[in-house]
Structure 1
Amino acid sequence: MLHVTDWFQLGVAMYLDFAITRNILAFGVGYLCLQNVLRFRRERALITRYRKFTAITPSNDSKAPHYLEQSARNPNGVKVDDGRKGLDLSKMSFLQASEIQRDLSHLEFPYTFGHSLELGFIQTLAFPYPAKILNDTRQISRPEAMPKRLADTSILMQNIYNFPPDHPRFQLAISRINYIHSRYTRIQNPDMLYTLAVFACNPWDYVDRDEWRQMNVLEVAGLGTFWKNIGECLKVDMTFIKNMAITHASVNESGRKDVAAYTSSDTEGWRDGYDFMLDLRAYMRWHETGFAEFSQDVDALVSTTFDVGTQYIPTAGLQRLVKDILVTEFQEKWQRAMGYVQREHAKTDAGTNSHYLDSRPPPNIWTSSIFRYFISIRRFYLRHLALPAFWSSERTSPDPDPKTGLYQQVDYVTFPYYVRPSLWNRYGPATWPSWLFGVPLPGDEGVKYRPEGYSLEEIGPERMEGKGKEWMEEDRRWCQEMMGASICPFATMMRQ
């Protein structure tokens, strides 16, 4: 029989258990509510700021622009949803678009943006003609040359992504790309346009497929406005893709057809970045269908890329698993273009392309299923549990070294190009996996990884180092003058 003290102790224990449980439940519910509010705060704030910006633009009046009224109808007069939600996207400036794309790539979807561009780089290798040009230059097909080529490409893109169009580093990166391309006269405009489409549309596709939410129309228009201006700076002819969303309607990653850009069919050029993105993605799909194909040059580039990216994985089995996961992320058309074909189809394909006799089997169904299951878990975690990012980490230093005038990388993937060999960079916790698997560290192998840093005027293939500065300065001034007309005086509102 329980004594009074025993009853008292039991009551205290039950109360404490109840209080702890209640507090845990209250904390959990409060956290989930806070997470739900914060998770969409940046998206809502972007739309609110842009509506405010367009509402006070002097050229606006109380009546909506005529094309916003027409955009709800197709040429037959039937009402359809064009996705714009009444937003006047035509007033977006280059600076505003740059700010939108920077938020998307640094804060909203940093992993998917970066990873989609890495996969996009591999996509651009799966075309026989440009693959032959790249093989002839031996900048990618040689395992010892590819890491620096990837690092240089990444640096140029980081300076375009991280700085506004009126910043000298943005303009120097554009001019350096133009100079490098000017040395390769065999590069054709369709190949340049396709590469531009990959950088613009791949993040859109992969975010819509894999992330915790899809991009809204304003964000897509921001990407379109940004890359339309980049294309003009890179001297890419984009006029012939006008209305391709009408003539070659594409299917997006969710299996639905894109909304046709019918609202731009009666005007010259594109009304806004959203129209441009629809046409650009339609062109990208059309170009892939018509020209992506397996060849010996494609095989050499893709094989070298996969081998270099997995060379420090310790066992052959793990290397094969990582390669299978990478291949799984590509649709079947890309797997076939890269030589991954089911054996029962290899002999049939060999009738038109003898290289398929040496084809590799695609990843097994279990690898694909496990990978997609992991993506689903990640999507659920980010949407319902994880807090949004509050700040971004840059991979390149904002200011040059005061002694050398060179910039350093503060982060890297696998190969430590342009990273200062400080104590933290060589021995900090982030380097411990590198020590474990024998991955190069900053300062290893003397000057091979350029620990002193880089200059944007000299980035690129070794035979071009120190060349083209006068050419670049002239091109930079041209780019600066051209962009001057695109910089809207109200763009600072987007930064408030």
Structure 2
Amino acid sequence: MAEINIGPEHLFIAMAIVAPYLLLVRHCRYQRAHTIQARFSERPLSSMTVKEAHEIFRELRELEFPYTLHSAMKLSLLKTGSIPTMTKLFVATRQLNEKNASKRAADTEVVLNEVHDREPGSDSHLMGIARMNYLHARFRKAGKILDEDMLHTLGSAVVDILRGVDRQEWRQLTDVERCAIGVFHKALGDAMEIPFTFLPSHETGWRDGMHFAEELYDWTLVYEKVAAKPTDSTKYIGRRLVELAKVNVPAPLKPLIEKVVITKLDDHSRISMGFEKPGILVYAFARGILNVRKVILRYLSLPRPDSKAVRVLNENPDPKTGLYTWNLWIEHPWYIKPTFSNQWGLKAIMVRLFGNGAIPSANGPYKEAGYDLRTIGPAAQETRGQEEMEAIFQSLKGASYATGCPFHA
């Protein structure tokens, strides 16, 4: 076997190649953060509008921290399984049983992504909010969904975004980015008619989005500790939600995946849903993976270019059907277009080998043709409430809530 000799000249050549790349990464890695921060270098954060906040928030979701922000949405949905008033309703409506869970999860994420990613004030954005408001309305009127639960759901999204980035990402959020998250969610809460009377500054008002986000963050964590209690419904719903996370992974890895998911929960949420605390080795494994990822992104990876933006939703509907498809495959391929890559790509192969075998197909059982925001949701509600939804939509459109700043006229 030929002997391989590595001399100083080889090391010099390697360093001559690697060093400029590392310097380029160092130069470019924070440019997006600096650019976002510079937009308010001569303006107070209190002047940030909803549209400006959304532009920043979308940059974070699609370019800067797509993995963490989309994971934060899933974690917030999982944590609803720790609140007894919510899980009692889920059990009563049978929307998270074994038969319906995958569609309910897909519908929820579709609507939330429509609200988060479409241009504020656009028809799709407002229709997503109108659909949420309509589906919640009868339960709120009946007292089955409490105002506190609505505020907790909104607050949980803020908590998981802020905490997720600070704990898992290669850099911290800037004040401008925190403000944008607060502005966006304040405007969304207003549109969803969520009362903020539980927050300390509800009478005097908030200085800016960052102030609002901080108060909502603190209130949410306190509320969770009081409200999250183990019941039969929290244990059942918690189990159903965690099952969704591991359905299409190899069987030998399912126990590890479950334990890694559980490491993301606070103790009160974990106990409420009936899960045992993972061992120290699982926590070490999960932290190790995150730390390696941080180093790779911070020191070895160039920023994601605009051409590689992570977009969950497709920009335009199918010209023939008028329906939208999306790119996020959860348990079953709900609303996933049956393209060659979706039928034979890596995800499809994983499903064929280790999952439930459900692959998108033309005229398949998972509405692969797409969704209509006016009908998405439980089957019993697909053909109901059109007039109510249209009234909500027109009210939102007339209010122009997405213009200006939600804190200052």
What TM-score do you get using the length of structure 1 for normalisation?
A: 0.76
Q: Is the 8 A contact 1:417 1:449 kept in 2?
A: yes
Distance 1:275 1:312 in 2: 41
Partner of 2:40: 50
CA distance in 1, matches of 2:248, 2:392: 40
- Show the counterpart of 1:336: 271
**What does 1:15-414 correspond to in 2, within 5 Å?**
19-51=9-41, 54=43, 88-140=44-96, 142-184=97-139, 185=142, 186-243=144-201, 268-315=204-251, 317-340=252-275, 361-391=276-306, 392-414=309-331
Change (3 A) 1:172 1:295: same
Q: Do 1:94 and 1:226's aligned partners in 2 also have CA atoms closer than 8 Å?
A: yes
AA matched with 1:330:
L
- SS at 1:410 equivalent: coil
Q: Distance between the aligned counterparts of 2:353 and 2:366, measured in 1?
A: 20
Deviations 1:112-159 (A, max 9, x none): 11112211111111011221111101101x111010011011111111
The residue identity in structure 1 corresponding to 2:11 is T
Larger Rg: 1
- In the TM superposition, what whole-angstrom CA distance separates every residue of 1:176-220 from its partner, at most 9, and x where no partner exists? 101111132321110000000011221101111111111111101
- How far is 1:430 from its partner? 4.3
RMSD: 2.1
Residue identity in the other structure for 1:272: D
CA distance in 2: counterparts of 1:211 and 1:40, whole angstroms: 13
Q: Is the 8 A contact 2:178 2:209 kept in 1?
A: yes
C-alpha separation in 1, matches of 2:382 and 2:314: 21
In structure 2, how many angstroms separate the alpha carbons of the residues matched to 1:477 and 1:368?
A: 49
Distance, in Å, in 1 between the alignment partners of 2:402 and 2:111 is: 24
- What one-letter code is carried by the residue in structure 2 that aligns with 1:426? Q
The code of the aligned residue for 1:27 comes to I
Q: 1:322/1:429 Cα in 2 relative to 1: closer, same or farther (>3 Å)?
A: closer
Q: Secondary structure at the match of 2:221?
A: helix
Moved over 6 A (4+): none
Q: Distance in 2 between matches of 1:117 and 1:303?
A: 18
CA distance in 1, matches of 2:181, 2:194: 17
C-alpha deviations, 1:384-431, integer Å up to 9, x for none? 111121131322221111111111123423321011222332123442
- Aligned residue pairs, count: 396
1:447-462 → structure 2 map (5 Å cutoff): 447-462=364-379
Q: Is the 8 A contact 2:22 2:299 kept in 1?
A: yes
CA distance in 2, matches of 1:371, 1:314: 18
Find the residue that maps to 1:50 and give its secondary structure. Answer: coil
SS of the residue corresponding to residue 192 of structure 1 reads helix
Q: Does the Cα contact within 8 Å between 2:155 and 2:216 map onto a contact in 1?
A: yes
**Cα offsets for 1:295-337 (capped at 9, x unmatched):** 101001011122233234443x422221111112222222222
Distance in 2 between residues matched to 1:198 and 1:155, nearest whole Å: 18
* Maintained 8 Å contact 1:395/1:412: no
Identity of aligned residues (%): 29
Within the candidate set 355, 361, 370, 1:443 is matched to 361
Residue 91 of structure 1 and its aligned partner are, at CA, apart by: 0.2
Task: Render the CA deviation track for 1:151-175: whole Å, top value 9, x for unaligned.
Answer: 0111111111211212111011011
Rounded to whole Å, the distance in 2 between the matches of 1:320 and 1:216 is: 37
The structure whose RCO (Cα within 8 Å, separation 6+) is larger is 2
Q: Are the equivalent residues in 2 in contact too, given 1:143–1:308 (CA < 8 A)?
A: no
Long gaps (5+) in structure 2? none
- Structure 2: how far apart are the matches of 1:206 and 1:192? 21
Do 1:327 and 1:363's aligned partners in 2 also have CA atoms closer than 8 Å?
A: yes
Deviations 1:257-299 (A, max 9, x none): xxxxxxxxxx721121011011101110110111111110100
AA at the equivalent of 1:143: E
- The amino acid across from 2:157 in the alignment is F
Q: Show the counterpart of 1:82.
A: none
- Name 1:358's counterpart in structure 2: none
For residues 27 and 123 of structure 2, what CA distance do their matches in structure 1 show?
38
Stretches of structure 1 lacking an aligned partner (at least 5 in a row):
1-12, 55-87, 245-266, 341-360, 489-496
